[in-house]
Structure 1
Amino acid sequence: MGTTIQTILDDFAFLDEWEERYRYVIELGEALPEFPDSDRTAANKVQGCVSQVWLTTSYGAGPDPIITFQGDSDAHIVRGLVAIMLALFSGKTAGDILKTDAEATLKTLGLDEHLSSQRANGLRAMVKRILRDAEAARQTA
């Protein structure tokens, strides 16, 4: 398991300058596991992102399955944002994912006011896709 969302929140609180925070976000992206070229497909592409973003979803068993996400982007800062979203959502049950308030986390990190509107919209598109996958997992379980 990679960096937890709590670690990211703690590290962000420690970093005062936004330049340092951006560097940290890029480092989070660099630490993402290798994303297989075979998963860089149209089906895995997150629609609504200006940068290219791919997201794969793996489901556990049971009525409230644990869902694991893997993602990547062709842009450094966006790759870091993918890492934050994976820390927030991946490895949780579908029910917990649906209860997670991504907007509140982004506000706590201050990302909502420091991202361009295009990046913020892309991030929302990624969250929407994650929530849709979690809802689908509960429907099929």
Structure 2
Amino acid sequence: MSAITRESPFPLELTAAEAQATIAEEFGYFSDWSERYQYLIDLGKKLPVFPDEWKTEANRLTACQSMVWVVSEGDADRLVFHAVSDSTIVSGLIYLALRVYSGRSASEIAATEPTYVADIGLAKHLSPTRSNGLAALLGVIRQTAARAIQAS
């Protein structure tokens, strides 16, 4: 983990479980997937600025068809994730993942399954490449938490 220390808007809710419940509630307002995709795009636009100097091969998530970069900082007490994509929908997926996991303890991250993915129907409505990329992002987040727990 790097010593980056950059402001992050996350977490928005007190717990990861609350974040997942809020995400499910928000997506429940939309009657069809065109509206949900638009909401994902809008969420992606809310991601904080990701500096160009962080867009290195070492920070790139290679399992994605889109270009995605992920940087983490912190320790077992609090892990913060920064990420961005060149794809608008993928940026929205990143926003949701960061909303659930960023700014939380490694133990809370490790104990939190990403149930929001199924709860809002993402699993059924993403292309295979986007599903693989989301799984890779969630994997990086959870692996980072596991390493932080081991290091503490």
Trace 1:1-141 onto structure 2 (pairs within 5 A).
1-2=9-10, 4=13, 5=19, 6-60=21-75, 64-102=76-114, 104-141=115-152
Alpha-carbon distance between aligned partners in 2 of 1:39 and 1:8, rounded to the nearest angstrom: 28
Unaligned residue ranges in structure 1 (runs of 5+) = none
Which residue identity lines up with residue 81 of structure 1 in the other structure? L
TM-score (norm 2): 0.85
Residue 100 of structure 1: CA displacement?
0.9
Q: Secondary structure at the match of 1:54?
A: strand
Which residue identity lines up with residue 71 of structure 1 in the other structure? A
> How many corresponding residue pairs?
137
Alpha-carbon distance between aligned partners in 2 of 1:38 and 1:65, rounded to the nearest angstrom: 27
Superposed CA RMSD in Å reads 1.3
Residue 65 of structure 1: CA displacement?
1.7
Alpha-carbon distance between aligned partners in 2 of 1:15 and 1:37, rounded to the nearest angstrom: 34
Q: Deviations over 1:50-96 (max 9, x none)?
A: 10111110114xxx321010110000000110001100110110001
Contact 2:23 2:116 in 1 (8 A): no
TM-score (norm 1): 0.92
Identity %: 36
Alpha-carbon distance between aligned partners in 1 of 2:119 and 2:89, rounded to the nearest angstrom: 18
